Amino acid sequence: MTRQGESGEQRYTAPGYERVEPRATYAPWQGDKRFHEVNVITREQTLVDLYRSYELWQLAAEACKVPGDILEVGVWRGGTGALIAARIAERAPDRTVYLADTFRGVVKAGPKDQYYRGGEHANASPEDVQRLVDRLELGNVKILSGVFPDDTAHEVASAQISMCHIDVDVYQGAREVTEWVWPRLPVGGIVVYDDYGFYGCEGVTTYVDEVAHLADRVRVHNLNGHAVFVKTV
């Protein structure tokens, strides 16, 4: 999160935070016709920017190289989940994409979260997500309504998860989803954390940094607001 100054300038108010502007110029999404076709439909239903959206699109394809279904926790109106599901439908149509959300906003905010108190981003519903899924004619999606893993993990039939996108904004939520999904990842399985490194989401950054040293994973942080773990053992 950022705070908006009276002049319109975004201000970053915590030590260790500044506006990061990588200067690479390669833009592979420009030549990706199918991504554009899907993104033009999904982009209004997500708070995730183009760069992270395209990374999810690419990582979904990579996840098809290892066994397992796909899980997203923190769906909001379904933009990134539908984007991922569209990619999976092309590459591995037999796999299920599980989209899990409380649909009553952020839960499990705690002392390690500086901004979130609970209930934020409650302006979404399962019906919003289903409409988007239907518009894209996706038959590989299952929507899970409730707190994950507490309420809905039993609805995930998969023995393995090849990719998990975690967009829960807070420390405890990120931790509990990771602890549930990690034993279900094959070697090469992917966990993507949204909001890593964003001011206001320090809890997610704290959690990722706490476990990044573990020997069963490698971390990739490319300064776009994602942290990615790949399981190695």
Stretch 209-224: mean pLDDT, rounded? 97
Contact 174, 181 (CB under 8 A): no
- What percent of the chain stands above pLDDT 70? 94
pLDDT per residue over 91-134, tens digit each?
Answer: 999 999 999 999 999 999 999 998 999 999 999 999 999 999 99
What is the rounded CA–CA span in Å between residue 224 and residue 198?
9
pTM: 0.94
* CATH number of residue 211's parent domain: 3.40.50.150
SS3 content of the chain, % helix, strand, coil (to 5): 35, 20, 50
Which residues touch 216 (CB under 8 Å, ≥6 apart)? Answer: 231, 232, 233
Give the β-pairing of 226-231 and 217-221: antiparallel
Confidence band for 6, pLDDT divided at 50, 70 and 90: very low
pLDDT per residue over 37-65, tens digit each?
Answer: 999 999 999 999 999 999 999 999 999 99
Range of the domain at 180: 51-231
From residue 182, alpha-carbon distances to 65, 214, 232 in Å are: 17, 12, 11
Whether 36 is in a domain gets the answer no
Contact 51, 222 (CB under 8 A): no
Q: Is it the case that residue 10 has pLDDT exceeding 60?
A: no
Whether 38 is in a domain gets the answer no
Whether 30 is in a domain gets the answer no
How many domains does the chain contain in total?
Answer: 1
